Amino acid sequence: MNISRVIAAIALLIITLAIIAFAVMNPDERVSINLGWQTFENVPLVLALFIAFVIGVALTLLYTLYYFIDLGLTVRRLKKRNRLLEEELVALRNLPIEESFEETREEGKDVVK
């Protein structure tokens, strides 16, 4: 198992335990949430934090999805450009060989010695 995966699993476990400890130690804390168009009174703090966390995760997933789609399109475009440049390179490499062979043949020189 990769050491970075072990470290990530341990970090996730520590964060999860910290969240559970916070929820257990603050069960009666209540807050008011004002969204501008609506106010929610007497909301448990743990619920407010959990909802904020879920919204953050959802927004992060949307951004990551956009980023990977954009990255995939960029890779696709660059692969196409690379293929076209390789085809051009092959054509340019073959061009002097054909011209040189034809010029030598016209001059009557023996190509193979």
Longest dimension (CA), the chain: 101
pLDDT digits (tens, 9 = 90+) for 4-43: 889 989 998 998 898 888 888 888 889 998 989 999 999 9
Per-residue confidence band for 101, with pLDDT thresholds at 50, 70 and 90: low
> In the chain, where are the structural domains located?
3-107
Angle between helices 3-25 and 45-107 (to 10 degrees): 160
- Rounded to an integer, what distance in angstroms lies between the CA atom of residue 45 and that of residue 52? 11
